[in-house]
């Protein structure tokens, strides 16, 4: 009977440890998803990396000599941001400043040879 209690105690301790670790890592994953900001989705083959572009906006303005980085992804329907800000185009100026504009306000991307 003593051997049964020793074996059962060891197995129970291992199982309890596995359950506690599973709950812990599930909680950590939940908090990471809940508190994360946004991801930038890069599109391969869309534009050459690092090539300057001119971005023509729907209101008639033009952003000259910027680099296209990607689009924002706020994690789907769990995000607590307005729908209008869920998909934004991410651009970068020559000085490294990032510009976030609504994707539906972009009228045209124009690839250029060099920054004018």
pLDDT of residue 6: 82
Looking at residue 5, its pLDDT comes to 79
Q: Read off the pLDDT of residues 24-65 as tens digits, 9 standing for 90 and up.
A: 999 998 887 777 666 666 666 666 667 888 999 999 999 999
Contacts of 76 (CB under 8 A, 6+ apart): none
Q: Give CA separation, 3 vs 9, 10, 12, 107, in Å.
A: 10, 11, 14, 76
Strand (E) or helix (H) holding 33: helix 2-35
Rounding to the nearest 10 degrees, give the CA dihedral for residues 42, 43, 46, 48: 40
For 39-111, CATH gives 2.30.30.100
pLDDT grade for 87, boundaries at 50, 70 and 90: confident
For 101, which DSSP code?
E
Percentage of residues in the chain with pLDDT exceeding 70? 74
Q: What is the mean pLDDT of the chain?
A: 81
Q: How confident is the model at residue 19 (pLDDT cuts 50, 70, 90)?
A: very high
d(CA 45, CA 111): 13
pLDDT value of position 32: 79
């Amino acid at each position: 009977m003593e051997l049964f209690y020793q074996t059962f105690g060891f197995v129970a301790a291992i199982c309890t440890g596995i359950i506690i670790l599973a709950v812990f890592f599930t909680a950590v994953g939940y908090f990471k998803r809940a508190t994360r900001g946004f991801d930038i989705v890069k599109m391969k083959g869309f534009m050459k990396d690092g090539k300057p572009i001119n971005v023509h906006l729907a209101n008639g303005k033009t952003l000259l000599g910027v680099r296209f980085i990607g689009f924002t992804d706020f994690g789907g329907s769990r995000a607590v941001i307005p729908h209008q800000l869920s998909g934004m185009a991410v651009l970068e100026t020559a000085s490294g400043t990032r510009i976030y504009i609504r994707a539906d306000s972009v009228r045209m991307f124009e690839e250029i040879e060099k920054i004018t």
